[in-house]
Structure 1
Amino acid sequence: MKLGIGIGWRPEIADAVEALPGIDWVEAVAENLCDDHLPASLVRLRERGVTVVPHGVSLGLGGAERPDPDRLAALAARAALLDAPLVTEHIAFVRAGGARTGSAVLEAGHLLPVPRTRAALDVLCENVRIAQDSLPVPLALENIAALFSWPDEELTEGQFLAELVERTGVRLLIDVANLHTNHVNRGEDPVRALDELPVEAIAYVHVAGGVEKDGVWHDTHAHPVTAPVLDILAELRSRVSPPGVLLERDDDFPPAAELAGELDTIRATLDGDGDGDRVRRPASGTPETSAGADPAPDPASEALRDRVAVAQTSLLSALVAGTPAPEGFDRRRLRVQSRALAAKRADVVAKVAPELPEILGRGYRDAFLAYAGARPMSAGYRRDALDFAEHLLLTGHPGDAAARRRLTHWWQDRAAPRPPRRVTRLARAARSVLVGR
């Protein structure tokens, strides 16, 4: 299916997206949409014949648990509402813990890499098949960016993706900016990845900007697309003509003219000298022939999932709860990732609950980071905002009486008829100690 040139639809730039010339399709974050009605901007785009693809971020198909049926149903409902030709998600895990590890469930609030091992691939493939069976349209999965590597990996990124496609028939969403990120952060060769992955399985391509700080590339989606990312896009274009290419921008939105300029640059890159017909490796199979090729479920599959769960929980706990880094990881990189996760929590909470930074003023960020350092997220960003406000009230903050009254009223309107009392504070403190053991 030919998609063409598109851009990520975000509410902050909805008007600009509607006005951009030459937009064939848009991608919308699935979790930001209701399952029974669409924003007026997306309705108008669809009426013009613009395709809308829902892009999920919360399934965690690389996690140890099987996909949550409610999350799959919600993604399916959005696909049906949009009459989308496909849905997309990520090769990542986003939460860990729970019954398999006898610990609290931890939420990363971000996409984290799965180890490129046979065990992790087995779990991922089963999860992908479950998702495919639950969705009304084809599924495509995106390679993610990472600040760190897992120790003792057995496959390269290209090999991992190729085997995933061969075993499940899933399509690929290749993010060339993420290939560049992994080149800078993990020393991985993007050309080798393109040589090894099944380019004929590509559903579409992401292009995005980032920035390098202290030798680490941050995939921000808040900066202009850089030349090295466009070079990887050109390298991909020399192998295959991608059905669609989409520009992502999630923050620090520039004027519409700058977005249009970046789209023009992407078009020029795709119109380069590459023949677009050279596929370097044969097709790995199709869903009809390869998805059913795996043997029946292994009796040891639950034990395998348990081992993956322990590894992922240990890593995530180090990132969000301050526990020691697991053996074999680059501790400096994990510290960078930990700070990035906390900063993202602060930014997203400020978006979902803008009253909090308004009430707290310049002290918001420091207060939130202090809170986040000892309290991992366990139930999403909106719950996180309520828990943060409750924590401030329990600890006597903010000191300004007027600000404290405003925060109390905000919390009461959303969480409870009265502020938390001392007994609540003591009970929750005790529970936190027990969970942390």
Structure 2
Amino acid sequence: MQQLGTGIGWRPEIADAVERMPGIDWVEAVAENVCPGHLPESLLRLRERGVTVVPHGVSLGLGGADRPDGSRLTALAQRAEALGSPLVTEHIAFVRAGGPLTASAPLEAGHLLPVPRTRDALNVLCENIRIAQAALPVPLAVENIAALISWPGEEMTEGQFLYDLADRTGVRLLIDVANLHTNHVNRGEDPAKALDELPVEAIAYVHVAGGFERDGVWHDSHAHPVPRPVLDILAELAARVTPPGVLLERDENFPDPAELEHELTAIRDTVKIATTARKAAQTVAARATADAAGAAPGAAAEHPVTDAARQRLGLAQTALLSALVAGTPVPEGFDRARLGVQARALAAKRADVVAKVAPELPEILEGAYRTAFLGYAQRHPMAGGYRRDALDFAEHLLFAGRPEDAETRRRLRDWWLDRSGPAPRSQRPAARLARATRRVLLRS
């Protein structure tokens, strides 16, 4: 297992600060935000200095009922090769549902949602991971996710689920200790028990991040300082094994670089103290390795996945996602209030991301943007990614004769027309016809 050291999530907003930070051994970049042919200059400079860069995928949906999309796997492989990465990472989650498998409209969550810890879901996930491993040029590690909701009828704990996953596929694990804290608050799961059940020898690296609690629900925001309970779980993990790498995640509300450096120091100190204590107390080490003395990961027999198992999982995930983003009835066994919290969180994130990919929309609509978008999201599930979502939102407003102010509506119409029409020179006559048609439809 490659020793990565201490790292930080690379984001364009803090790229300059990351380059100047002392003691940064590696960085992690969101894979979907990196273009292999046009790597950011900051990442190129870091690589030239010997800093390892790991692409971290967020849209593959390995926990979904469908087999992994080949084009997404190719894109992830290209990013690993362009960055010279020793591994790539993704999530144990589903991000979309519906489609041909369930004979229903495709739906996008725009977020990572938990898979049920059942044998069906595990079998599907194992096969999907094997498909991904075969398509990637470097090893794959998968991350446990934070969740606001629990599936009814689960058959395994998180630790058991992850152990079987690693045992059957040989996949490495990216353990997010902040997500273990989130699941402790939101689902009553004991982080220490999860760590006891993990195959610690399969850990590739560890994530550390902050969040906040509201009305008894912990939100894994990646926009707040790392709290003491998360560092305590990191210490619990380091008391069992020294992680090959530890990384600080921060996605929004970036503080001064000095504050990020302070958090990195706290992370290093936490691991160092716990590791020293573990080495001094052999009984702790014995307890940590006792349950892992059997077969190495990957030695277990395969469990064939039937189309029926994929369909059962697909129907369950579609029903849940439809309740979250399309307002359909809550599936039996779910906590209605907690699903409401999750639905509002998904809509809020959707509004935030659309505002980032299309910053002109909040500028044009000013203070009315968020209310208008959340109202739109209640009745219009996302089906084509955030950029398509931004265009569909603008189109929805325009066809409804909004905004009421004529000048604001004109600006929104011009923005929409500029971005939704075909552009290639060979299609210019068709483009002119399409634009003329839209202008007739949108004439105010």
TM-score by length of 2: 0.92
Q: CA deviation at 1:402?
A: 1.4
User: CA deviation digits over 1:410-430, x for unaligned, max 9?
Assistant: 111110225747879xxxxxx
**Conserved 8 A contact 1:198-1:283:** no
Q: 1:304 to 1:4 in 2, by over 3 A?
A: same
User: CA deviation digits over 1:222-243, x for unaligned, max 9?
Assistant: 0000000000000000000000
Structure 2 residue 121 is matched with structure 1 residue 111: no
User: CA deviation digits over 1:96-130, x for unaligned, max 9?
Assistant: 00011111100000000000001100000000000
Matched length = 420
Distance in 2 of aligned mates of 1:334 and 1:36: 41
Q: 1:288 to 1:126 in 2, by over 3 A?
A: closer
Aligned to 1:294: 302
Aligned to 2:371: 366
**Letter paired with 2:376:** Y
Q: Percent identity?
A: 72
Runs of 4+ in 1 over 3 A off after TM superposition: 273-277, 283-290, 418-424
User: CA deviation digits over 1:2-44, x for unaligned, max 9?
Assistant: 0000000001111111111100000000000112220011011
Structure 2 residue 50 is matched with structure 1 residue 42: no
Aligned to 1:190: 191
SS of residue in 1 equivalent to 2:66? coil
Distance in 2 of aligned mates of 1:273 and 1:337: 35
1:16-415 matches, cutoff 5 A: 16-274=17-275, 275-276=277-278, 278=285, 279-280=288-289, 281-282=291-292, 285-286=295-296, 289-290=299-300, 293-295=301-303, 297=304, 301-415=306-420
Q: 1:251 to 1:95 in 2, by over 3 A?
A: same
Aligned to 2:425: none
Distance in 2 of aligned mates of 1:282 and 1:422: 68
User: CA deviation digits over 1:282-335, x for unaligned, max 9?
Assistant: 156446644xx315x35xx00110010000000000000000000000000000
Distance in 1 of aligned mates of 2:364 and 2:161: 47
Q: 1:422 to 1:371 in 2, by over 3 A?
A: farther
**Conserved 8 A contact 1:166-1:284:** no
Aligned to 2:428: none
Structure 1 unaligned regions, length at least 5: 425-437
SS of residue in 1 equivalent to 2:62? coil
Distance in 2 of aligned mates of 1:37 and 1:284: 46
**Letter paired with 1:217:** W
**Conserved 8 A contact 2:159-2:195:** yes
User: CA deviation digits over 1:145-165, x for unaligned, max 9?
Assistant: 000100010000000000000
**Letter paired with 2:134:** D
Q: 1:376 to 1:284 in 2, by over 3 A?
A: farther
SS of residue in 1 equivalent to 2:37? coil
**Letter paired with 2:129:** V
Distance in 2 of aligned mates of 1:100 and 1:352: 30
**Letter paired with 1:311:** A
**Conserved 8 A contact 1:165-1:284:** no
Distance in 2 of aligned mates of 1:34 and 1:111: 22
**Letter paired with 1:176:** V
Distance in 1 of aligned mates of 2:379 and 2:395: 14
Q: 1:383 to 1:230 in 2, by over 3 A?
A: same
User: CA deviation digits over 1:206-252, x for unaligned, max 9?
Assistant: 00000000000000000000000000000000000000000000001
**Conserved 8 A contact 1:46-1:52:** yes
Distance in 1 of aligned mates of 2:338 and 2:20: 41
Aligned to 2:430: none
TM-score by length of 1: 0.94
Aligned to 1:7: 8
**Letter paired with 1:376:** P
**Conserved 8 A contact 1:394-1:420:** no
SS of residue in 2 equivalent to 1:36? helix
Structure 2 unaligned regions, length at least 5: 280-284, 422-434
SS of residue in 2 equivalent to 1:109? strand
Distance in 2 of aligned mates of 1:418 and 1:285: 67
**Conserved 8 A contact 2:74-2:135:** yes
**Letter paired with 2:155:** E
Q: CA deviation at 1:409?
A: 1.0
Q: Which has the higher helix share?
A: 2
Q: CA deviation at 1:398?
A: 1.1
SS of residue in 2 equivalent to 1:271? helix
Distance in 1 of aligned mates of 2:111 and 2:389: 14
